Amino acid sequence: MLSVQGIEASYGAAQALFGVDLTIEAGQAHALMGRNGMGKTTTIRAICGLTPAQKGDITFQGRKIAHLPSHKIARAGIGLVPEGRRCFATLTVRENLIATARPGAWDVATVSKLFPRLEERAGQMAATLSGGEQQMLAIGRALMTNPALLILDEATEGLAPTIRAEIWAALRALKADGQSLLIVDKTLKEILPVADACTILERGRSVWSGPPDALTDDLTTRYIGV
Protein backbone atom coordinates (compact mmCIF):
# COMPACT_ATOMS: atom_id res chain seq x y z
CA MET A 1 0.00 0.00 0.00
CA LEU A 2 2.97 2.31 0.57
CA SER A 3 6.14 2.29 -1.45
CA VAL A 4 8.95 4.70 -0.66
CA GLN A 5 11.80 4.65 -3.16
CA GLY A 6 15.12 6.42 -2.82
CA ILE A 7 13.86 9.46 -0.98
CA GLU A 8 16.17 12.27 0.02
CA ALA A 9 15.19 15.14 2.30
CA SER A 10 16.89 18.11 3.99
CA TYR A 11 16.36 20.68 6.70
CA GLY A 12 17.63 23.80 4.94
CA ALA A 13 21.23 23.05 3.93
CA ALA A 14 21.44 20.00 6.21
CA GLN A 15 20.60 16.81 4.34
CA ALA A 16 18.99 14.21 6.62
CA LEU A 17 17.89 11.49 4.18
CA PHE A 18 20.20 10.15 1.48
CA GLY A 19 18.15 7.30 0.04
CA VAL A 20 15.39 5.59 1.98
CA ASP A 21 13.41 2.63 0.60
CA LEU A 22 10.43 1.18 2.43
CA THR A 23 7.51 -1.01 1.37
CA ILE A 24 4.42 -1.63 3.48
CA GLU A 25 1.88 -4.25 2.52
CA ALA A 26 -1.80 -3.66 3.31
CA GLY A 27 -2.79 -4.96 6.73
CA GLN A 28 0.78 -5.27 7.92
CA ALA A 29 2.67 -3.62 10.76
CA HIS A 30 6.04 -2.26 9.65
CA ALA A 31 8.72 -1.31 12.18
CA LEU A 32 11.11 1.52 11.31
CA MET A 33 14.24 1.25 13.44
CA GLY A 34 17.67 2.75 13.91
CA ARG A 35 19.64 4.71 16.48
CA ASN A 36 18.94 8.34 17.43
CA GLY A 37 19.32 10.81 14.61
CA MET A 38 19.39 8.20 11.81
CA GLY A 39 16.35 9.65 10.02
CA LYS A 40 13.28 7.83 11.31
CA THR A 41 11.28 10.97 12.11
CA THR A 42 12.41 12.65 8.89
CA THR A 43 11.28 9.63 6.86
CA ILE A 44 7.86 9.86 8.48
CA ARG A 45 7.74 13.62 7.92
CA ALA A 46 8.60 13.08 4.25
CA ILE A 47 5.82 10.48 3.85
CA CYS A 48 3.35 12.91 5.44
CA GLY A 49 4.56 15.87 3.35
CA LEU A 50 5.81 17.83 6.38
CA THR A 51 9.46 17.76 5.26
CA PRO A 52 8.92 17.04 1.58
CA ALA A 53 11.25 14.64 -0.22
CA GLN A 54 13.42 16.43 -2.78
CA LYS A 55 14.28 13.23 -4.61
CA GLY A 56 12.73 9.80 -4.93
CA ASP A 57 9.16 8.57 -5.13
CA ILE A 58 6.41 7.88 -2.62
CA THR A 59 3.44 5.87 -3.87
CA PHE A 60 0.41 5.35 -1.64
CA GLN A 61 -2.40 3.10 -2.83
CA GLY A 62 -1.24 3.48 -6.40
CA ARG A 63 -0.99 7.27 -6.28
CA LYS A 64 2.23 9.33 -6.26
CA ILE A 65 2.09 11.56 -3.20
CA ALA A 66 5.62 12.97 -2.76
CA HIS A 67 4.63 16.32 -4.29
CA LEU A 68 1.34 16.73 -2.38
CA PRO A 69 0.86 19.16 0.54
CA SER A 70 0.46 17.49 3.93
CA HIS A 71 -3.30 18.08 4.24
CA LYS A 72 -3.88 16.27 0.94
CA ILE A 73 -1.72 13.36 2.05
CA ALA A 74 -3.77 13.17 5.25
CA ARG A 75 -6.95 13.21 3.18
CA ALA A 76 -5.54 10.46 0.95
CA GLY A 77 -5.58 8.23 4.05
CA ILE A 78 -2.35 8.59 6.02
CA GLY A 79 -2.85 9.32 9.71
CA LEU A 80 0.04 10.49 11.89
CA VAL A 81 0.57 10.23 15.62
CA PRO A 82 3.51 12.64 15.89
CA GLU A 83 6.35 12.51 18.36
CA GLY A 84 5.34 14.60 21.38
CA ARG A 85 1.57 13.99 20.99
CA ARG A 86 0.40 17.54 20.19
CA CYS A 87 -3.22 17.47 21.28
CA PHE A 88 -5.16 20.73 21.62
CA ALA A 89 -4.45 21.50 25.29
CA THR A 90 -7.44 23.76 25.88
CA LEU A 91 -10.02 21.55 24.19
CA THR A 92 -11.70 18.66 25.97
CA VAL A 93 -10.93 15.06 25.10
CA ARG A 94 -14.17 14.81 23.17
CA GLU A 95 -13.54 18.08 21.30
CA ASN A 96 -10.03 16.90 20.39
CA LEU A 97 -11.50 13.75 18.90
CA ILE A 98 -14.28 15.49 17.01
CA ALA A 99 -11.82 18.05 15.59
CA THR A 100 -10.19 15.50 13.28
CA ALA A 101 -13.25 13.35 12.49
CA ARG A 102 -13.85 12.05 9.00
CA PRO A 103 -16.50 9.48 8.10
CA GLY A 104 -15.64 5.83 8.63
CA ALA A 105 -15.61 3.03 11.17
CA TRP A 106 -13.74 5.13 13.75
CA ASP A 107 -15.85 7.62 15.70
CA VAL A 108 -15.98 8.81 19.31
CA ALA A 109 -17.76 5.60 20.35
CA THR A 110 -15.31 3.15 18.73
CA VAL A 111 -12.26 5.13 19.89
CA SER A 112 -13.69 5.15 23.44
CA LYS A 113 -14.07 1.39 23.25
CA LEU A 114 -10.40 1.01 22.27
CA PHE A 115 -9.32 3.44 25.03
CA PRO A 116 -11.94 3.39 27.82
CA ARG A 117 -9.89 5.98 29.76
CA LEU A 118 -10.75 8.54 27.09
CA GLU A 119 -14.43 7.99 27.69
CA GLU A 120 -13.97 8.45 31.44
CA ARG A 121 -12.21 11.74 30.72
CA ALA A 122 -14.35 12.92 27.79
CA GLY A 123 -15.18 16.30 29.35
CA GLN A 124 -11.70 17.03 30.70
CA MET A 125 -9.27 19.47 29.05
CA ALA A 126 -6.48 17.60 27.23
CA ALA A 127 -3.90 19.58 29.25
CA THR A 128 -5.09 17.86 32.45
CA LEU A 129 -4.49 14.32 31.14
CA SER A 130 -1.47 12.22 32.12
CA GLY A 131 1.22 11.69 29.48
CA GLY A 132 -0.11 8.22 28.72
CA GLU A 133 -3.68 9.46 28.38
CA GLN A 134 -2.52 12.23 26.07
CA GLN A 135 -0.81 9.58 23.96
CA MET A 136 -4.04 7.59 23.80
CA LEU A 137 -5.82 10.78 22.76
CA ALA A 138 -3.20 11.41 20.06
CA ILE A 139 -3.78 7.90 18.70
CA GLY A 140 -7.54 8.40 18.96
CA ARG A 141 -7.32 11.66 17.04
CA ALA A 142 -5.36 10.00 14.25
CA LEU A 143 -7.87 7.13 14.12
CA MET A 144 -10.76 9.61 13.88
CA THR A 145 -9.45 10.53 10.41
CA ASN A 146 -10.09 6.88 9.47
CA PRO A 147 -6.65 6.42 7.93
CA ALA A 148 -5.77 3.51 5.66
CA LEU A 149 -2.25 3.75 7.10
CA LEU A 150 -1.59 4.83 10.68
CA ILE A 151 1.92 6.07 11.46
CA LEU A 152 3.17 6.25 15.04
CA ASP A 153 6.39 8.07 15.99
CA GLU A 154 7.70 6.90 19.37
CA ALA A 155 4.21 6.43 20.75
CA THR A 156 5.37 4.88 24.02
CA GLU A 157 8.44 7.00 24.71
CA GLY A 158 8.78 8.12 28.31
CA LEU A 159 5.62 6.38 29.51
CA ALA A 160 5.19 4.13 32.54
CA PRO A 161 5.26 0.36 31.91
CA THR A 162 1.53 -0.20 32.56
CA ILE A 163 0.54 2.54 30.11
CA ARG A 164 3.04 1.25 27.54
CA ALA A 165 1.43 -2.17 27.86
CA GLU A 166 -2.02 -0.67 27.26
CA ILE A 167 -0.83 1.15 24.16
CA TRP A 168 0.89 -1.93 22.72
CA ALA A 169 -2.27 -3.95 23.41
CA ALA A 170 -4.26 -1.34 21.47
CA LEU A 171 -1.79 -1.53 18.58
CA ARG A 172 -2.08 -5.33 18.52
CA ALA A 173 -5.88 -4.98 18.46
CA LEU A 174 -5.65 -2.51 15.58
CA LYS A 175 -3.42 -4.86 13.64
CA ALA A 176 -5.72 -7.81 14.31
CA ASP A 177 -8.48 -5.64 12.90
CA GLY A 178 -6.53 -5.22 9.64
CA GLN A 179 -5.18 -1.72 10.23
CA SER A 180 -1.93 -1.04 8.35
CA LEU A 181 0.71 0.43 10.65
CA LEU A 182 4.11 2.09 10.40
CA ILE A 183 5.68 2.16 13.85
CA VAL A 184 8.83 3.90 15.03
CA ASP A 185 9.91 2.67 18.43
CA LYS A 186 13.18 1.92 20.13
CA THR A 187 12.08 -0.96 22.33
CA LEU A 188 12.76 -4.08 20.28
CA LYS A 189 11.15 -6.48 22.69
CA GLU A 190 7.88 -4.58 22.34
CA ILE A 191 7.95 -3.74 18.65
CA LEU A 192 9.25 -7.00 17.16
CA PRO A 193 6.34 -9.24 18.26
CA VAL A 194 3.91 -6.82 16.57
CA ALA A 195 5.91 -6.24 13.37
CA ASP A 196 5.47 -8.20 10.14
CA ALA A 197 8.46 -6.47 8.58
CA CYS A 198 11.25 -4.12 9.63
CA THR A 199 13.44 -1.51 8.00
CA ILE A 200 16.64 -0.24 9.58
CA LEU A 201 17.98 3.25 8.91
CA GLU A 202 21.61 4.21 9.26
CA ARG A 203 22.68 7.81 8.61
CA GLY A 204 19.70 8.64 6.46
CA ARG A 205 19.79 5.45 4.39
CA SER A 206 17.81 2.22 4.63
CA VAL A 207 20.41 -0.48 5.16
CA TRP A 208 18.30 -3.55 5.90
CA SER A 209 14.74 -4.72 5.41
CA GLY A 210 13.15 -8.03 6.28
CA PRO A 211 10.92 -9.97 8.66
CA PRO A 212 11.65 -9.72 12.41
CA ASP A 213 12.82 -13.34 12.64
CA ALA A 214 15.58 -12.58 10.12
CA LEU A 215 16.94 -9.79 12.31
CA THR A 216 20.17 -11.21 13.72
CA ASP A 217 21.98 -10.18 16.90
CA ASP A 218 24.76 -8.95 14.67
CA LEU A 219 22.38 -6.55 12.89
CA THR A 220 20.82 -5.24 16.09
CA THR A 221 24.23 -4.70 17.69
CA ARG A 222 25.52 -2.95 14.61
CA TYR A 223 22.58 -0.73 13.77
CA ILE A 224 20.35 -0.44 16.81
CA GLY A 225 22.90 -0.65 19.57
CA VAL A 226 21.52 -3.34 21.87
Residues of the shown chain interacting with ligand ATP in the complex, contacts defined by CB under 6 A:
11, 14, 16, 34, 36-42
Toward ligand ATP, which CB reaches closer, 34 or 82?
A: 34
Residue 84: CB minimum distance to ligand ATP, A:
10
Interatomic CA distance for residues 123 and 95, integer angstroms: 8
Question: In terms of CB distance, is 14 or 105 closer to ligand ATP?
Answer: 14
Nearer to ligand ATP by Cβ, of 84 and 131: the residue is 84
Minimal distance in Å, beta carbon 5 to ligand ATP?
A: 18
Quick one: 38 or 68, whose CB is closer to ligand ATP? Answer: 38
Q: How far is the CB of 145 from ligand ATP (least distance, A)?
A: 23
Least distance to ligand ATP from the beta carbon of 225, Å?
A: 11
Pairing of strands 14-24, 29-33: unpaired
Contact 208, 44 (CB under 8 A): no
Q: Which is nearer to ligand ATP, 51 or 112 (CB)?
A: 51
Question: Please, what is the minimum distance in Å from the beta carbon of residue 169 to ligand ATP?
Answer: 24
